[in-house]
């Protein structure tokens, strides 16, 4: 039932239920909802709690009910702290500005634990969207939409004013946004449209159910329509909620192309609804008829061409099209019947323009061009025909449909991705014939190491524990032992099950702790049983793939590593494999930002024994600590780019909810700080933007001179903006600016250059980016060289500081920056080799506030290359490798080539996310790709272009969005 609640209400009530359940300490709360009217939606979302409703107007049939109170929410006849929570989801925007502070203080007074407010706030985008939507409603029905008109009369609340009220009243709170403004307006228009037709009214439930099921959880793309304000007495609980929202935003990217095409359904519904609109309006607008009739005759012909094909698939579409044809015939008849109303036309000019706009949208042929696409999308989501997806994907691959179709049908939504991934990963399970081949290969291994799998268990569900154990027993590679420590489970069935398995298989060793040791202690106890050459970690409810230990043994035979890790995915409660994490190879900066190693990790036992294995004072982050300490002893780390580990999503697991182990984040800060201290790195560690992620800031030993080199030609407004932003915002002060004037002619530019205090190097030669910058380096006095485009603009004042923090490191050869388009989308967050044939930008076109693929946009990471639009390097190193390639790479790829030569020398390349600038990309020069430069890159670097160690072969090289290569 909840899934059929209007999407706009579902957004609010679902969030409330999730927030309350996230911090729940009592089985049953007393909750007051103000402004609920008669809907009583909250009790559907919180069925076990006691809900009371308060409204200034209560319908007669509800006035005698004990759970309804008729009162003004700004002056409630209630004692202090009467209710645990007070909820206001449709009030704040409907009361006058003079009452809003009183409203907030009143609901705070009545609440014991806290309150939640949801409302749209007054921004230019929201205001314009509501105006457009109201005009649309007037065009359909001839009157204002009541609630939007009330917003206008009371004026939407100002968010800054609201923040001031909260702070002045010492109210603890967090705020977040939800509900894409673009999507909200689109779906509301669809609601209005289908409601205008009796034949289409049921489509409202289809629209709502689709949104509630598939989009709600990811609908955080800004700008949003509505903000939530959550106030709790407990600051710790507020932090839990904040972290939970941050984690959810990690999966918040909704493919805009998919949504746009999906919502083109509006045009199709308009086509089907057109005649009813015209029947209602034609009496007033006779002068439109002749043009409408001509256009609709064309529409009839188009419908007839598609009709036969559609009818065999979808009966409801067939019936609606038949209705359309019949209704079109009535238009001509109504033309004659409505002649007497011509005199009213003159007074309805505004209304006519609205109808003309609607009609123009209806007869737009784009809707027809995409009819087949819309049908497939609609059938998939509305009829739930999951088995159609592989056929669609195969059709795209075999028949080469255009990119738009590929986008729509390959990535309809995240659920579809999970379905495709689940099907794909199951297809990777070795067949019996392959298993036999692997067994033959294993017997030919020169090394057959014993791999000890260690597992702590505590009151584990018997079925899940059995699955975990069986996943080891089913391994193709036979040389293993499973060492299990029961951490003093109170459930006797756990130990009984372990004893049963130990009797079945002598490779299974078990021990029972006398008292609870917790995860780290119990794992160490299990390791005491181990006699193998390597130790691998398995949680008590997770599973290994059947070939996991074979893959590990194979790389041991190939390169004899000390530490091995693999990719991983998750299993949801329905047994679906989902959320695969395809990781980069060893990345020393990334591991300080987050424990991306996680599962499946295998360690050489002799080194682990020397280290003492897991620390017991950092519960929840002991794995991260082990990785950091272990890799301080050895550099022999091997990544297997294949999913070998299935991490089970259950409510108490970190796989399902990071906040189930919130203490781990606190301990993680200590773990990374300890690593810095051991390595004699002066720096400070704080929590990052996502749960389990960290920001590492390093102390600058000496503020050495940075020479900022900026090539330009005319377009003085760009260089002025660039340099002004550097001078006004940059906190790192020891820099010089060298401007390369590549033949400017405009008088304003020449005047600017003659007046600037910075050095100007005039090189009036044909454009050659490499040549220009190489010459400028000869004049640079700094130890560090920053290559900077003239079309960038500083955002973050510490941009240069954080870059210098890394370039000062002896092992780092270049540092890049995160660049944004002026509309806020990501333009560059590192370079990935192989994308598009040569290289592409990581996370290009992602929204600026997106966390990225597994929150990568928030982490300091290593890359094979970074863009020359903002690239910091060491002068001596630049000269040592010969600078930019002037001969072969005059325009493009010179930055990639430079970085790859730096990497050849053994240096790291780093991108700290706090180095943020706008990039008005190639405004001054435009795009230019020379076939000779492409050919050179493939000849020089072809052996590594499709093997970027900081990417993953299971991720696509066709796009920059980290979609799967399956």
CATH number where 763 lies:
3.90.550.10
Measured distance CA(569)–CA(573) in Å, rounded: 14
User: In terms of domains, do 233 and 277 share one?
Assistant: no
Question: Does 421 fall in a domain?
Answer: no
CA distance 17 to 42: 8
Residue from 677, 686, 701 nearest 860 by CA = 686
Residues 241 and 325 in one domain: no
pLDDT at 377: 47
Number of residues that this document lists for the chain: 966
Strands, E assignment, 630-775: 637-648, 683-687, 694-698, 706-712, 735-741, 759-762
At residue 209, the pLDDT reads 85
pLDDT of residue 279: 42
Q: Output DSSP code: residue 865.
A: B
**750 domain residue, yes or no:** yes
Of 868, 858, 877, the C-alpha closest to 808 is 877
- Asked whether residue 852 falls in the same domain as residue 935, the answer is yes
Asked whether residue 699 is assigned to any structural domain, the reply reads no
Q: Are residues 507 and 602 in the same domain?
A: yes
CATH of residue 176: 3.40.50.150
Is residue 810, in this structure, part of any structural domain at all?
Answer: yes
Tell me: do 616 and 752 sit in the same domain: no
Helix or strand (DSSP H, E) at 70: strand 68-70
3-class state of residue 880 by DSSP: helix
Does 401 share its domain with 487?
Answer: no
Which tokens in the block code for residue 695? 């920001």
Domain shared by 478 and 627, yes or no: yes
Using omega within 30 degrees of 0 as the cis cutoff, is the peptide bond preceding 223 cis?
yes
The alpha carbon torsion through 413, 415, 421, 426 (nearest 10 deg) reads -150
Residue by residue, DSSP assigns 607-646 as: HHHHHTS--SSSTT-HHHHHHHHHHHH---EEEEEEEEEE
For residue 591, being part of any structural domain is answered with yes
* CA dihedral over 842, 848, 852, 856, signed as positive or negative: positive
Task: Among 224, 254, 284, give the residue marking a domain's end.
Answer: 254
**Domain count along the chain:** 4
- Any residues with CB less than 8 A from the CB of 137 and at least 6 apart, and which? 143, 144, 145, 148, 192
- ∠ Cα 87 89 94 (to 5°): 120
Domain endpoint, select from 219, 254, 289: 254
Report residues of the chain scoring pLDDT below 50.
255-258, 261, 271-318, 320-321, 324-325, 327-329, 331-337, 339-343, 345-347, 349-350, 352-353, 355-366, 368-373, 375-388, 403-416, 655-657, 659-660, 922-926
964 in a structural domain:
no
Say yes or no: 276 and 203 in one domain. no
Do 628 and 551 contact (CB within 8 A), yes or no? Answer: no
Say how far apart CA 747 and CA 623 lie, in whole Å: 63
Q: Are residues 23 and 61 in the same domain?
A: yes
pTM of this structure: 0.61
What lies within 8 Å, CB to CB, of 562 at 6+ separation is 603, 604, 607, 630, 633, 634, 636, 637
Give the structural domain span for 103. 2-254
Q: Residue 390 in contact with residue 287, Cβ under 8 Å?
A: no
Total Cβ atoms within 10 A of residue 638: 19
- From the list 29, 56, 60, the residue with the least C-alpha distance to 42 is 29
Q: Is 173 helix (H, G, I), strand (E, B) or coil?
A: strand
Residues 6+ apart with CB under 8 A from 920: 718, 791, 792, 793, 822
In a domain, 382, yes or no: yes
The reply to whether 229 and 313 lie within a common domain is no
d(CA 83, CA 110): 6
Query: Could you say which of 623, 657, 691 is where a domain stops?
Result: 657
H or E element in which residue 183 lies: helix 181-195
Please, are residues 696 and 672 in contact by the beta-carbon 8 Å criterion? Answer: yes
Given 3-state DSSP classes, what are the helix, strand and coil percentages for the chain, each rounded to the nearest 5?
Answer: 50, 20, 35
pLDDT in tens, 184-220: 988 888 888 777 766 666 667 778 888 888 888 888 8
Tell me the C-alpha distance between 811 and 962, whole Å. Answer: 28
In angstroms, rounded to a whole number, what is the distance separating the alpha carbons of residues 385 and 696? 47
Q: Are residues 287 and 233 in the same domain?
A: no
State whether 453 and 493 are in the same domain.
yes
Residue 340 falls inside a structural domain: yes
């Amino acid at each position: 039932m909840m899934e059929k609640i209007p999407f706009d209400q579902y957004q609010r009530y679902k969030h409330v239920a999730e927030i309350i359940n996230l911090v729940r300490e009592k089985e049953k709360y007393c909750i007051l909802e103000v402004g609920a009217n008669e809907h009583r939606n909250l009790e559907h979302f919180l069925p076990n709690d006691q809900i009371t409703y308060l409204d200034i107007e209560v319908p007669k049939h509800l006035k005698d009910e004990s759970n309804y109170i008729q009162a003004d929410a700004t002056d409630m006849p209630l004692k202090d702290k009467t209710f645990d929570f007070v909820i206001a989801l449709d009030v704040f925007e409907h009361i006058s500005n003079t009452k809003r502070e009183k409203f907030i203080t009143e609901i705070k007074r009545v609440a014991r634990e806290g309150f939640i407010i949801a409302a749209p706030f007054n921004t230019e985008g929201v205001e314009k969207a509501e105006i457009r939507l109201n005009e649309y409603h007037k065009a359909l029905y001839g009157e204002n939409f009541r609630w939007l008109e009330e917003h206008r009369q009371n004026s939407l609340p100002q968010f800054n004013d609201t923040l001031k009220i909260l702070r002045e009243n010492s109210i603890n709170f967090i705020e977040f946004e939800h509900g894409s403004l673009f999507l909200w307006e689109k779906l509301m228009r669809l609601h209005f449209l289908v409601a205008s037709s009796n034949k289409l009214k049921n489509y409202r439930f289809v629209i709502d159910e689709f949104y509630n099921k598939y989009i709600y959880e990811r609908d955080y793309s800004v700008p949003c329509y509505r903000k939530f304000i959550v106030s709790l007495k407990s600051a710790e609980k507020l932090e839990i909620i904040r972290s939970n929202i941050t984690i959810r935003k990690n999966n918040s990217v909704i493919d805009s192309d998919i949504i746009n095409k999906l919502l083109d359904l509006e045009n199709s519904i308009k086509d089907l609804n057109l005649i009813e609109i015209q029947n209602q309006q034609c009496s007033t607008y006779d002068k439109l008829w002749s043009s409408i009739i001509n256009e609709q005759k064309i529409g009839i012909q188009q419908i007839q061409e598609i009709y036969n094909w559609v009818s065999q698939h979808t009966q409801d579409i067939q019936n609606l099209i038949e209705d359309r044809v019949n209704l079109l015939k009535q238009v001509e008849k109504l033309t004659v019947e409505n002649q007497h109303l011509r005199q009213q036309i003159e007074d309805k000019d505004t209304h006519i323009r609205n109808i003309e706009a609607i009609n123009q949208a209806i007869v737009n042929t784009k809707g027809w061009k995409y009819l087949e696409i819309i049908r497939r999308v609609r059938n998939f989501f509305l009829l739930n025909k999951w088995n159609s997806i592989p056929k669609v994907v195969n059709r795209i691959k075999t028949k080469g449909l255009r990119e738009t179709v590929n986008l729509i049908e390959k990535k309809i939504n995240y659920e579809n991705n999970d379905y495709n991934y689940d099907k794909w990963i199951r297809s990777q399970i070795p067949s019996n014939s392959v298993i036999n081949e692997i067994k033959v290969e294993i017997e030919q291994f020169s090394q057959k190491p014993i791999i000890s799998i260690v597992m702590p268990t505590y009151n584990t569900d018997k079925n899940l524990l059995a699955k975990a154990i069986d996943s080891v027993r089913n391994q193709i590679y036979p040389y293993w032992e499973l060492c299990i420590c029961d951490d003093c489970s109170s459930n006797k069935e756990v130990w009984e099950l372990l004893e049963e398995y130990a009797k079945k298989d002598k490779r299974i060793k078990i021990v029972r702790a006398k008292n609870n040791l917790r995860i780290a202690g119990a794992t160490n106890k299990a390791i005491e049983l181990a006699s193998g050459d390597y130790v691998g970690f398995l949680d008590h409810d997770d599973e290994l793939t059947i070939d996991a230990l074979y893959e590990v043994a194979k790389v041991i035979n190939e390169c004899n590593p000390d530490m091995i890790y693999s990719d991983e995915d998750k299993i949801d409660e329905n047994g679906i494999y989902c959320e695969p994490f395809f990781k980069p190879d060893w990345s020393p900066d990334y591991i300080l930002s987050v424990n991306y190693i996680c599962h499946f990790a295998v360690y050489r036992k002799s080194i682990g024994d020397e280290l003492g294995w897991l620390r017991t004072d950092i519960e929840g982050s002991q794995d991260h600590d082990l990785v950091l300490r272990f890799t301080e002893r050895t550099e022999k780390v091997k990544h297997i780019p294949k999913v070998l580990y299935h991490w089970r999503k259950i409510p108490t697991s970190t796989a399902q909810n990071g906040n189930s182990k919130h203490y781990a984040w606190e301990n993680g800060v200590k773990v990374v700080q300890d690593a810095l201290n051991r390595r004699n790195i002066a720096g400070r560690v704080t929590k990052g933007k996502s749960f389990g992620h960290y920001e590492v800031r390093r102390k600058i030993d000496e503020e050495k001179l940075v020479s900022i080199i900026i090539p330009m030609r005319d377009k003085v407004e760009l260089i002025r903006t660039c340099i002004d932003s550097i001078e006004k915002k940059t906190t790192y002060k020891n820099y010089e600016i060298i401007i390369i004037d590549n033949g400017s002619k405009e008088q304003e530019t020449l005047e600017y250059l003659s007046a600037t205090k910075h050095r100007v190097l005039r090189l009036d030669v044909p454009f050659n980016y490499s040549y220009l910058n190489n010459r400028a380096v000869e004049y640079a006095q700094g130890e560090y060289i920053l290559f900077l485009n003239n079309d960038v603009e500083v955002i973050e004042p510490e941009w240069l500081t954080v870059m210098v923090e890394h370039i000062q490191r002896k092992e780092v050869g270049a540092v890049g920056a995160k660049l944004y388009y002026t509309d806020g989308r990501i333009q560059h967050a590192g370079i990935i080799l192989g994308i598009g044939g040569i290289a592409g930008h990581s996370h290009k076109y992602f929204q600026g506030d997106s966390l990225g693929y597994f929150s990568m946009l928030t982490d300091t990471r290593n890359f094979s290359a970074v863009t020359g639009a903002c690239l910091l390097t060491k002068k001596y190193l630049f000269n040592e490798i010969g600078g930019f390639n002037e001969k072969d790479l005059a325009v493009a790829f010179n930055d990639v080539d430079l970085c790859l030569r730096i990497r050849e020398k053994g240096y790291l390349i780093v991108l700290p996310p706090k180095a943020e600038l706008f990039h008005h990309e190639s405004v001054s020069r435009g795009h230019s790709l020379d076939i000779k430069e492409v050919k050179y890159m493939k000849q020089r670097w072809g052996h590594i272009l499709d093997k970027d160690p900081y990417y993953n072969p299971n991720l696509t090289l066709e796009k920059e969005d980290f979609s799967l290569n399956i």
